């Protein structure tokens, strides 16, 4: 019956209560833009940046409780007294508040229970129960246990769940993949054929696995009740290549017992050096939660005392990811100030440009200057991991976080370049130099297939997806339409000629990667709506006549998937189904769809008008929008993100773009 629901969604659309004149419509949009921009300007930090919360599922809080137990072992009486006992209690309560009626936990709002999130939540809360006053009620715990078993038990969990549990003796070591530190000594720079976030996780984890002392739980607590008696502990046999890698894993485990000690010692020293080097000029290793957590555990495994500066700094950066207000406690997987600042600046700049020469309210140029000055100070000037494959490139670009100089990313760099097209710094000559370096760097980071990836070029050695610890679905950093679209849009708008070889190579990548239904896959935003709007923006400025059929197909697809309330929404389930899956309308995804239509020249069709109406009618009196869904992507099918400013600056950008068009566009 799904086709009936789809047909109804297409036919049953939002109809305004009364027909507006064009002047009335423009006045409503102007008011929405004014209150939206004023709300965003009020959120600007004194330094000039914007910085919204970035949140995810309960696995972060669950892992935090396990991390605290790993660092602070029970005393001789079996009692557990971690210094962060209050935070452990808050983390447990935060987890339990998000339990689903069926007893499980999901990895995105509205999603089904998921085995890893549920197993980790149950285990974390059971361990937290060893602290007085935190003991969970039996009924929710029983429902959670039953849900884990129904989902396949611990044996069905992914590698990282099994590895984390094995470090505490909660899962058999032989059933968890080995991550050997010798990987840093492997010939051919194999480490750099993995994605940047994977290598930043694996290197410290390899140290922990290699030398950490056995850990125990308070009073010997175990979670054997999560194991299905009939399931095996062996690694899953996905195909022939995976079976080969399983044999390699067995060989590694044998090596751990009988291998040459001097080789292992050398590997650990090199892994330590690699890890410490990448904690310089950054807010923690990789500036992301898992690698930061494992780096702390690795330093402690290496015998670093608590007051050693590298360990002190690592703990400080990790704790800075916590959002804590009264009883509210939640971890961020990272912080996003560069990303938020660039998109805020671009949206406000687009509005300012559209209102130039008018008497209507416009954003303050001073706020954009402060933002530009701040962004210039964050340019990366040192070579990072990307230089392994691009050694001759002059360093530039921007990272996602406040400081992460080993890992600037292409997407942030493109977005900052777009923002600097509007935001003018106090020193125009300095800005011009920075922009020139950034353009050269981003062009040099193009992969051989014509696309751009997030952190590396030509990071596409697919055989690595078969290794036993690759089931987090993020072993590689392949090129993708969403980043490629943003890069082309930025390069053309910042002066690179459309005829440039990099631009035309990128256009061909986009044309080849369009889905059969007319959409494009979105790797870093959920999902096809995100990829499609960015691909359309690129093809409009650089595609020429050859791109028109692709543009027409994409526009037809956007109109086809509009929700009946006039907005657009897409579920994270689309990643698992490999096709668009409708979700509740959201402010950010509606804005992306409207931006995609605008890029194709459509600002006045019925679909575009309904999308604008949805944004106008769902805006709150304070100028902001509500949004409960996760529309950002960390690892497809594994980890999703909620950017708390997406709901505000993307609608502003969409409405400013519609208003700036003056209603010009096709009416089909």
252, 178 Cβ separation under 8 angstroms:
yes
Provide CB contacts within 8 A for 391, sequence distance 6+.
none
* Pairwise CA distance, residues 335 & 405, whole Å: 14
Residue 264 to residues 183, 254, 261, 278, 289, Cα–Cα distance (Å):
11, 13, 5, 21, 27
480, 473 Cβ separation under 8 angstroms:
no
Nearest alpha-carbon partner for 481 in 545, 422, 420, 554: 554
* Pairwise CA distance, residues 424 & 401, whole Å: 21
| Dihedral angle sign, alpha carbons of residues 56, 62, 63, 65 | positive
Q: What is the CA angle 377-381-384, rounded to 5?
A: 130
* Pairwise CA distance, residues 297 & 291, whole Å: 10
Nearest alpha-carbon partner for 351 in 624, 612, 607, 649: 649
SS3 letters for 330-397? EECCCCCHHHHHHHHHHHHHHHHHHCCCCCCCCCCHHHHHHHHHHHHHCCCCCCCHHHHCCCCCCCCC
212, 301 Cβ separation under 8 angstroms:
yes
User: Is there a catalytic annotation at residue 411?
Assistant: yes
As given in the structure block, the two tokens for residue 123 are: 């285990």
Environment class of residue 501 by beta-carbon count within 10 Å: exposed (0-12), middle (13-18) or buried (19+)? Answer: exposed
Of the listed 411, 449, 482, 565, which one is catalytic? 411
In the numeric block, the tokens 């370096």 are attached to 437
Question: CB-hemisphere CA count at 13 Å for 412?
Answer: 24
The whole-angstrom distance between residue 522's C-alpha and the CA centroid of its chain comes to 12
User: Could you give phi then psi for residue 634, rounded to 5 degrees?
Assistant: -95, -75
96, 143 Cβ separation under 8 angstroms:
no
As given in the structure block, the two tokens for residue 479 are: 């090129």
Classified as helix, coil or strand, 55 is strand
Q: Which residues pair with 330 in a beta bridge?
A: 323
In the numeric block, the tokens 């069905």 are attached to 156
Classified as helix, coil or strand, 516 is coil
**Terminal Cα distance for the chain, rounded:** 30
Nearest alpha-carbon partner for 163 in 150, 179, 151: 179
Nearest alpha-carbon partner for 92 in 129, 119, 55, 139: 129
* Pairwise CA distance, residues 324 & 329, whole Å: 5
For 406-436, give the DSSP string.
T--BHHHHHHHHHHHTT---S-HHHHHHHHH
44: left (phi over 0), alpha (psi -120 to 50) or beta: beta
What number of other Cβ atoms are within 10 A of residue 452's Cβ?
A: 29
| Active-site annotation, residues | 411
């Amino acid at each position: 019956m799904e086709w009936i629901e789809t047909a109804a969604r297409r036919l049953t659309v939002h109809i305004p209560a009364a027909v507006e004149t064009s002047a009335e419509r423009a006045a409503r949009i102007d008011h929405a833009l004014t209150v939206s921009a004023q709300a965003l300007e009020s959120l600007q930090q004194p330094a000039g940046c914007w910085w919204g919360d970035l949140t995810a599922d309960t696995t972060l809080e669950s892992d935090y409780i396990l991390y605290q137990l790993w660092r602070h072992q029970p005393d001789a009486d079996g009692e557990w007294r971690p210094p962060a006992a209050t935070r452990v209690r808050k983390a447990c309560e935060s987890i339990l508040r998000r339990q689903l009626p069926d007893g499980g936990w999901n990895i995105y709002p509205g999603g089904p229970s998921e085995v890893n999130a549920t197993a980790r939540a149950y285990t974390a809360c059971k361990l937290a129960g060893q602290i007085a006053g935190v003991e969970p009620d039996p009924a929710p715990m029983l429902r959670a246990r039953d849900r884990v078993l129904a989902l396949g038990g611990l044996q069905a969990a992914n590698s990282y769940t099994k590895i984390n549990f094995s470090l505490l003796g909660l899962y058999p070591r032989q059933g968890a993949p080995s991550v050997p530190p010798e990987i840093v000594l492997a010939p051919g720079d194999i480490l750099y054929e993995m994605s940047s976030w994977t290598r930043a996780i694996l290197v410290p984890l390899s140290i922990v696995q290699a030398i950490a002392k056995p850990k125990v739980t308070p009073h010997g607590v175990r979670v054997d009740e999560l194991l299905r008696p009939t399931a095996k502990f062996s690694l899953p046999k996905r195909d022939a290549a995976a079976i080969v890698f399983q044999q390699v894993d067995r060989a590694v485990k044998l090596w751990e017992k009988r291998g040459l000690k001097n080789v292992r010692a050398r590997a650990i020293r090199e892994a330590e050096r690699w890890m410490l080097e990448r904690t310089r000029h950054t807010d923690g290793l990789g500036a992301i939660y898992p690698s930061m957590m494992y780096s702390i555990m690795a330093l402690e495994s290496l015998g670093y005392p608590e007051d050693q500066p590298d360990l002190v700094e690592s703990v400080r950066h990790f704790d800075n990811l916590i959002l804590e207000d009264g009883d509210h406690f939640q971890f961020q997987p990272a912080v996003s100030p560069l990303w938020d600042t660039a998109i805020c600046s671009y949206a406000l700049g687009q509005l300012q440009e559209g209102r130039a020469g008018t008497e209507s309210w416009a954003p303050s140029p001073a706020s954009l200057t402060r933002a530009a000055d701040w962004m210039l100070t964050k340019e990366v000037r040192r070579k990072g991991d990307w230089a392994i494959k691009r050694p001759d490139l002059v360093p530039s670009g921007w990272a996602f976080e406040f400081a992460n100089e080993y890992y600037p990313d292409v997407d942030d760099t493109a977005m900052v370049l777009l923002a600097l097209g509007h935001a003018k710094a106090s020193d125009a000559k300095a800005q011009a130099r920075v922009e020139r370096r950034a353009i050269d760097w981003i062009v040099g980071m193009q992969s051989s297939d014509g696309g751009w990836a997030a952190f590396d070029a030509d990071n596409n050695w697919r055989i690595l997806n078969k290794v036993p610890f690759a089931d987090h679905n993020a072993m590689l950093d392949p090129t993708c339409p969403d980043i490629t679209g943003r890069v082309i849009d930025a390069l053309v708008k910042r002066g690179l000629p459309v005829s440039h070889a990099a631009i035309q190579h990128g256009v061909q990548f986009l044309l080849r990667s369009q889905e059969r239904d007319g959409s494009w896959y979105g790797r870093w935003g959920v999902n096809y709506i995100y990829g499609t709007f960015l691909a359309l923006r690129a093809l409009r400025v650089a595609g020429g006549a050859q791109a028109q059929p692709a543009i027409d197909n994409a526009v037809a697809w956007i109109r086809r998937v509009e929700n009946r309330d006039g907005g657009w929404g897409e579920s994270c389930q689309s990643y698992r189904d490999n096709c668009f899956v409708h979700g509740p309308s959201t402010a950010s995804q509606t804005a992306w769809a409207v931006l995609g239509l605008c890029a194709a020249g459509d600002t006045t069709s019925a679909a575009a008008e309904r999308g604008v109406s949805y944004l106008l009618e769902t805006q709150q009196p304070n100028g902001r929008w509500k949004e409960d869904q996760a529309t950002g992507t960390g690892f497809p099918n594994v980890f999703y993100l909620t950017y708390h400013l997406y709901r505000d600056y993307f609608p502003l950008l969409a409405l400013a773009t519609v208003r700036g068009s003056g209603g010009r566009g096709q009416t089909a």
